[in-house]
Structure 1
Amino acid sequence: MRFRMLGPLEIEDSGRPIEIKAAKQRTVLAVLLLQANRPVDADQLVEQVWGQSPPPSARTSLQAYVYRLRNALRSVAPCGVELRTRPPGYLLAVPEARDLDVFERSAAEGNVALESGDPEGATRSYRAALGLWRGPLLADVDGEWVHLERRRLEEVRLTVLEQCLEAELALGRHRPLVPELEQLVRAHPFREALWAKLMLALWRSGRQADALAAYSRVRASLVEELGIEPGEELERLHRAILSGTADERPAVRRAVPALLPPDLADFTGREEHVRRVVGLLAPASGAEENRPRAVVVSAITGMGGVGKTSLAVHAAHRVRPWFPDCQMYVNLRGADE
């Protein structure tokens, strides 16, 4: 059995589609798939399906949805797919049946190849990973958590795409990449890494004027829409193209994952908690010699709904300057067995 999540939700068993038509039932399945092989609290499922004000019959309806899902999946039980009751909720056992798993594995293989100096192998793995996407994650499923995961995994997809483009540029494939890059910067006009790759591809194709025009386009967009100037990397590339000294074959450099969810613009209170977390990770002096050398693990505990995740994300944004190489976010809700 295969669960296709990278686009509209599709289920297939030996080439035969398995239909799950009811919208709320599909939401239950989607949440269980996002937490595959981990228990999901029934209250969490109720909240994802009905929101903050579920009807009195929500628990009974959830049990009915789970019963129907079990019936739909029963034919593939010998393959290891099983929807189990795991108090206080449910667990969907899915052994390597999600296209999301294949995407993550192929992307990881691409990372290994890129780090070992094999851009050809990296490109193959990255393109295989990217080819699995048919649209936004679970495009036809609603739910707050689904929307959050959709945004997070879109950022992951774009990071993998940027790494793939970096590898292909290192292989000298600048001319065929120009049309793809033009399409990408139209879809993501504020993503400076894509503009830099477009400028470099144009420069290497002997189109210096077009490369400079691309810089003018992105600068105008950033200034007019956001009121900011392009970043240092884009400025440096612009100067190099102007002087005709842009590196023809720069070393392959991985895109930096920056996967934190957006910070709350109106975050207030909990200053003491924020100060303690920030102090553990990045001392107030900011001096390099004062930074901790060992990995610091900070745990925030408390009852559900008190704002632990918001506090953690807010603190993470505060210390971002001290961790320029990578900022990751992993949703562990339900991983408490």
Structure 2
Amino acid sequence: MRFQVLGPVIVRDETGASVSLRGPRYRAVLARLIVARRRVVPVTRLADDLWDEPPADAVGAIRTFVAGLRRALEPDRPPRTPARLLVTEGPGYALRAEPDAVDAWRFDDTVRAAADLPAAQAVCVLTEALSWWHGPAYADFADEAWARAERSRLTEQRLLAVERRAEAQLSIGAAGAAVPDLDAHVAEHPWREDAWRLLATALYGSGRQADALAVVGRARRMLAEHMGIDPGPRLRRLEQDLLLQSEHLDPGAADPTAQVWEQARAAYDSAVPARTGRRLESAAGLMRDLAVTGGGGLAAARRHRIAAVAAADELGDPALTARVIGIYDVPAIWTRSDDPAQDRRLVDIAEKTLRRLPDHGDADRARLLATIAVESRGMLPAEHPSESGLRPLRAARQAEQIARRLRDPSLLVFALNGVFMQSFQRAGLAPRRDALGAEVLTVAASNNLATYEVLGHLIRLQARCALADYRGADRHAAAADALALRHELPLVTVFTAWYRALRTAVAKDLAAAEAAYERAATTLDGAGMPGLEHGLLPLARLSLYLRHHEAERIATMDPHTDWGPYTPWVRPVLFVARGEIDRARMALRHLGSPPRDLLFETLWAVVAHAAVAVDDAAVMRRAHTQLSPAIDETTAQSGLLGVGPVRAYLADLESALSRHPAQRSRSRRPGRGQRPADDHT
């Protein structure tokens, strides 16, 4: 749930839809708990805040409000289970929302963080933060005493953010962009001398010296007439500097990049009307460029991209929606989604648009199909196929066919990216992905498609790791790093840093590999890739200990470690290492298949290790069936970590299964090219 209080109080679910909060008292309770910022508000205090004279049944009424809010905020919570969001604690209630779930809390954190950012980045961050305001804070409760102090504080924070953004704009030479907002700012808040000073400086930086001096004069008259005071020393100094044309007044004037950006922005704003499809297409294009900057840029790009797609969908023009979706052809290398709910929503809109699109729009159709394939990453059926699970695979193939027919290089590499994301139907497909990466690399290099040239190198890096060709992988890592440096693509180093940690692990230096993985993990800090980050470092440590047969180290791993999405397949090995054999057997008994993605072989090998240790023949047979097609590969197909050659785990499984004579025939390897028994795709 996302909570908006910078304007009317609104709650939105993961799809962005508004959540019904029933009557005003319900909203007031929620708003009061948000004001408390995760602290407990006693029931007696709530009663005093909600009513001038609390009724006799105030406590019962508040319980009713809280119960209704809980149903709205946690609609899927099973009956009689404790609430996780709106909790009862001691004498009252608290809203335990995450820090980024409430726009006001997020705004505070963003304004604070912007003070330490480079000016150009601060402008972007503060501009986005100011866009979260949709009216006065807690607009529904302007007359409530309990909201007054918080509303005043947030208002002051917003004014500070406007002025800090203007200062950052001035420092990069974007004075013209600062003028309109500052003009409105001083009109609304004429007592803020810093606002007058910044407006005069921005006007001067825009080549309007006379206007700048006139603004200082207006400020002087306003202060004298209404407050009976003279301007402060900073405003008086500025007036002198304007008359002397001091150089320090326009520090960014020599920055051609800032000047070009500002001129282009102004020209676009004047030439392209607001509320047009062209603006949505431009926004999607900007988000495509923003995504490859990493960190906050990637997270913001994902958020604004889905907003642009949703806005296009609301306009009801399928051709426009198709273009807005298809423009965002950002290469994808990792097979686990960063935001599954958002990706499902995007895929739903793309599929709906595809059904409505005229038959003659082949290029748009191919981009929609490729988008469905890319954004459905990790959705291949684990063991039991379904129609919905196979649709992305067919979409990838159809996109590729159309792209080849149209002979469009940029469309082809986008479609091949979708094919790559759906190329995990079974283990042992590294050679196929290597050929796919080679084609992406050739097409991209021949057509100056730098981001896809990097993608080709990273796909081949992964494939060469799976095939134990680490020298080949070294060459692709070096080439990807060189391209990343030349084209300012910082996220590439995340993958190459983790690859080099894997390389250290392969060299059998355990201590050095542990240190390398610790360093690699720092590249994920702020990278904006939760689908990659969550649980990866502990899994890398476990892979090292399995590779080096360090069972004692596995036994000493912190039992409270967050293994993220890998928990079900890791848990049996941890139990085995601690000697908890019965718990390991229980964990294996109902274990499903890991997702068909870059860690498929690794996780099956981990499961195989545990199954052999507890002599679970059924799981050993499943593991053998799944791993057999990759007998000539390693488990390092992710290019980030691995637990050794697949052949070694198959040998252990066969040796253990030989003690189960009735099952020997069922453990034989499939022949070359034969699919495993439960591969339905």
Normalised-by-shorter TM-score class: 0.5 to 0.7
Q: TM-score, normalization: structure 2?
A: 0.34
Q: Does structure 1 residue 42 correspond to structure 2 residue 46?
A: no
Amino acid of the residue matched to residue 34 of structure 1?
Answer: V
Superposition map of 1:1-337 within 5 A:
1-15=1-15, 16-51=17-52, 53-75=53-75, 77=77, 81-96=84-99, 97-113=101-117, 118-142=118-142, 143-245=144-246, 247-249=248-250
| TM-aligned CA distance change 1:125 to 1:227, over 3 Å | same
- Contact kept, 8 Å, 2:224 with 2:230, in 1: the verdict is yes
Amino acid of the residue matched to residue 148 of structure 1?
Answer: A
Deviations 1:225-254 (CA, angstroms, capped at 9, x unpaired): 111111111111012112333623459xxx
- Contact kept, 8 Å, 1:106 with 1:128, in 2: the verdict is no
- Contact kept, 8 Å, 2:182 with 2:199, in 1: the verdict is yes
Deviations 1:65-105 (CA, angstroms, capped at 9, x unpaired): 11211222231659x85212212111112123212233233
Q: Among the aligned pairs, what percent are the same residue?
A: 36
How far the C-alpha of 1:191 sits from its partner, in A, is 0.9
Rg larger in structure: 2
| TM-aligned CA distance change 1:99 to 1:243, over 3 Å | same
Amino acid of the residue matched to residue 69 of structure 2?
Answer: L
Amino acid of the residue matched to residue 230 of structure 1?
Answer: P
- Contact kept, 8 Å, 1:110 with 1:124, in 2: the verdict is no
- Could you tell me which residue of structure 2 aligns to residue 301 of structure 1? none
Amino acid of the residue matched to residue 134 of structure 1?
Answer: H
Task: Tell me, in whole angstroms, the C-alpha distance in 2 between the residues paired with 1:29 and 1:13.
Answer: 15
- Contact kept, 8 Å, 1:104 with 1:129, in 2: the verdict is no
How far the C-alpha of 1:55 sits from its partner, in A, is 2.9
How far the C-alpha of 1:139 sits from its partner, in A, is 1.0
Q: Report 1 or 2 for greater relative contact order, CA contacts < 8 Å, sequence distance ≥ 6.
A: 1
Task: Tell me, in whole angstroms, the C-alpha distance in 1 between the residues paired with 2:104 and 2:27.
Answer: 17
Aligned length: 245
Task: Tell me, in whole angstroms, the C-alpha distance in 2 between the residues paired with 1:23 and 1:90.
Answer: 18
Runs (4+) of structure 1 exceeding 3 A deviation are none
Amino acid of the residue matched to residue 219 of structure 2?
Answer: V
| TM-aligned CA distance change 1:100 to 1:153, over 3 Å | same
- Contact kept, 8 Å, 2:29 with 2:65, in 1: the verdict is yes
Deviations 1:165-215 (CA, angstroms, capped at 9, x unpaired): 101001111123222211111111111111101111111222222111111
- Contact kept, 8 Å, 1:40 with 1:91, in 2: the verdict is yes
| TM-aligned CA distance change 1:171 to 1:45, over 3 Å | same
Gaps of 5+ in 2: 253-681
Q: TM-score, normalization: structure 1?
A: 0.68
- Give the 3-state SS of the residue equivalent to 1:132 in structure 2: coil
- Contact kept, 8 Å, 1:26 with 1:141, in 2: the verdict is no
After alignment, is 133-142 or 148-157 more displaced?
133-142
Amino acid of the residue matched to residue 227 of structure 2?
Answer: L
How far the C-alpha of 1:38 sits from its partner, in A, is 1.7
| TM-aligned CA distance change 1:129 to 1:181, over 3 Å | same
- Contact kept, 8 Å, 1:6 with 1:134, in 2: the verdict is yes
Query: When you count helix as a share of all residues, which structure comes out higher?
Result: 2
| TM-aligned CA distance change 1:250 to 1:173, over 3 Å | closer
| TM-aligned CA distance change 1:103 to 1:76, over 3 Å | farther
- Give the 3-state SS of the residue equivalent to 2:139 in structure 1: coil
Provide the aligned C-alpha RMSD in A. 2.0
- Give the 3-state SS of the residue equivalent to 2:249 in structure 1: coil
- Give the 3-state SS of the residue equivalent to 2:210 in structure 1: helix
| TM-aligned CA distance change 1:223 to 1:95, over 3 Å | same
- Contact kept, 8 Å, 1:99 with 1:132, in 2: the verdict is yes
- Give the 3-state SS of the residue equivalent to 1:84 in structure 2: strand
Query: When you count strand as a share of all residues, which structure comes out higher?
Result: 1
- Contact kept, 8 Å, 2:169 with 2:177, in 1: the verdict is no
Gaps of 5+ in 1: 252-337
| TM-aligned CA distance change 1:249 to 1:210, over 3 Å | closer
Task: Tell me, in whole angstroms, the C-alpha distance in 2 between the residues paired with 1:64 and 1:127.
Answer: 40
Amino acid of the residue matched to residue 237 of structure 1?
Answer: L
- Contact kept, 8 Å, 1:4 with 1:11, in 2: the verdict is yes
After alignment, is 93-102 or 177-186 more displaced?
93-102
